[in-house]
Structure 1
Amino acid sequence: MSDVLQELLQLLRLEPIGVQRFRGHSQDLGFRALFGGQVLGQSLSAAMHTLPEGDWFPHSLHAYFLRPGTVDDSVEFEVDVVRDGRSFVTRQVKASQHGKAILTMMCSFQHPEDGFVHMAPMPEVAGPEGIASQLELARTFRDYFPERVRDIYTADKPIEQRVLDPVNIFAPQKKEPIKYAWMRADDAMGDDFHDHARVLAYASDFNLITTALHPHAVSVSQKDMRVASIDHSIWFHRPFRMDEWLLYAIDSPNAGGARGFCRGQIFNLQGELVASVAQEGLMRQVARAKESS
Structure 2
Amino acid sequence: MWGDDDLDGRARLQRLFVYDEVEPDRFRYRAHRSSMPRLYGGQVISQALSAAQRTVATGRVAHSCHAYFVRPGDRDADIDFVVRRDSDGRSFSARRVEAMQGDRLILSLSASMHDLEPGGAHQFAMPDVPAPDTLVDQRVIMDALGDRLSPRHQSFWLRDTGFDMRAVEPFVSFDPPAQPAVRHFWIRLRDRIGDDPAEHQRLFAFISDLYVMHTGLLPLGIGWADRRLQDASLDHAIWFHDRFRVDDWLLYALDSPRAGGARTVGRGLVYRQDGTLVASVVQEGLIRLLDEAKY
Q: With the length of structure 2 as denominator, give the TM-score of the two structures.
A: 0.91
Task: For residue 131 of structure 1, report the CA deviation from its aligned partner.
Answer: 1.0
Distance 1:22 1:87, change over 3 A: same
Is the counterpart of residue 92 in structure 1 residue 89 in structure 2? no
1:106-139 Cα deviation digits (max 9, x unpaired): 1000011011111111011111112112111111
Residue type of the alignment partner of 2:139: L
Task: For residue 232 of structure 1, report the CA deviation from its aligned partner.
Answer: 0.8
Please give the residue correspondences for 1:266-285 in structure 2 after superposition, counting only pairs within 5 Å. Answer: 266-285=270-289
Tell me which residue corresponds to 1:46.
51
CA–CA distance in structure 2, aligned partners of residues 92 and 48 of structure 1: 11
Aligned length: 286
Distance 1:29 1:205, change over 3 A: farther
1:154-212 Cα deviation digits (max 9, x unpaired): 34330111111233213322111111000000111111111111101111101101101
CA–CA distance in structure 2, aligned partners of residues 213 and 85 of structure 1: 42
Residue type of the alignment partner of 1:16: E
Residue type of the alignment partner of 2:29: G
Percent pairwise identity: 37
Distance 1:166 1:111, change over 3 A: same
CA–CA distance in structure 1, aligned partners of residues 34 and 275 of structure 2: 31
Tell me which residue corresponds to 1:77.
81
Distance 1:29 1:265, change over 3 A: farther
Tell me which residue corresponds to 1:224.
228
CA–CA distance in structure 1, aligned partners of residues 127 and 152 of structure 2: 38
Q: Is the contact between residue 215 and residue 255 of structure 2 (CA under 8 Å) also seen in structure 1? A: yes
Residue type of the alignment partner of 1:114: P
Tell me which residue corresponds to 1:18.
23
Counterpart of 1:172 in 2: which secondary structure? coil
Is the counterpart of residue 8 in structure 1 residue 13 in structure 2? yes
Among 246, 249, 262, which residue is 1:245 paired with? 249
Bigger Cα displacement from structure 2, 153-162 vs 108-117: 153-162
Residue type of the alignment partner of 1:116: G
CA–CA distance in structure 2, aligned partners of residues 154 and 167 of structure 1: 15
Task: For residue 30 of structure 1, report the CA deviation from its aligned partner.
Answer: 6.4
Tell me which residue corresponds to 1:291.
none
Tell me which residue corresponds to 1:198.
202
CA–CA distance in structure 1, aligned partners of residues 152 and 256 of structure 2: 31
Is the counterpart of residue 154 in structure 1 residue 158 in structure 2? yes
Q: Is the contact between residue 36 and residue 156 of structure 2 (CA under 8 Å) also seen in structure 1? A: no
5+ residue gaps, structure 1, are 289-293
CA–CA distance in structure 2, aligned partners of residues 64 and 14 of structure 1: 22
CA–CA distance in structure 1, aligned partners of residues 42 and 74 of structure 2: 13
Counterpart of 1:198 in 2: which secondary structure? helix
Q: Is the contact between residue 235 and residue 275 of structure 1 (CA under 8 Å) also seen in structure 2? A: yes
Tell me which residue corresponds to 2:4.
none
Tell me which residue corresponds to 1:118.
122
Tell me which residue corresponds to 2:176.
172
1:74-102 Cα deviation digits (max 9, x unpaired): 21110000000011000000001121101
Task: For residue 25 of structure 1, report the CA deviation from its aligned partner.
Answer: 4.2
CA–CA distance in structure 2, aligned partners of residues 249 and 14 of structure 1: 33
Q: Is the contact between residue 224 and residue 285 of structure 1 (CA under 8 Å) also seen in structure 2? A: yes
Residue type of the alignment partner of 2:128: E
Tell me which residue corresponds to 1:61.
65
Residue type of the alignment partner of 1:10: R
Tell me which residue corresponds to 2:135.
131
CA–CA distance in structure 1, aligned partners of residues 155 and 289 of structure 2: 27
Q: Is the contact between residue 29 and residue 35 of structure 1 (CA under 8 Å) also seen in structure 2? A: no
Bigger Cα displacement from structure 2, 24-33 vs 97-106: 24-33
CA–CA distance in structure 1, aligned partners of residues 229 and 211 of structure 2: 16
Task: For residue 152 of structure 1, report the CA deviation from its aligned partner.
Answer: 5.1
Residue type of the alignment partner of 2:54: H
CA–CA distance in structure 2, aligned partners of residues 173 and 209 of structure 1: 17
Counterpart of 1:171 in 2: which secondary structure? coil
Counterpart of 2:142 in 1: which secondary structure? helix
CA–CA distance in structure 2, aligned partners of residues 30 and 285 of structure 1: 25
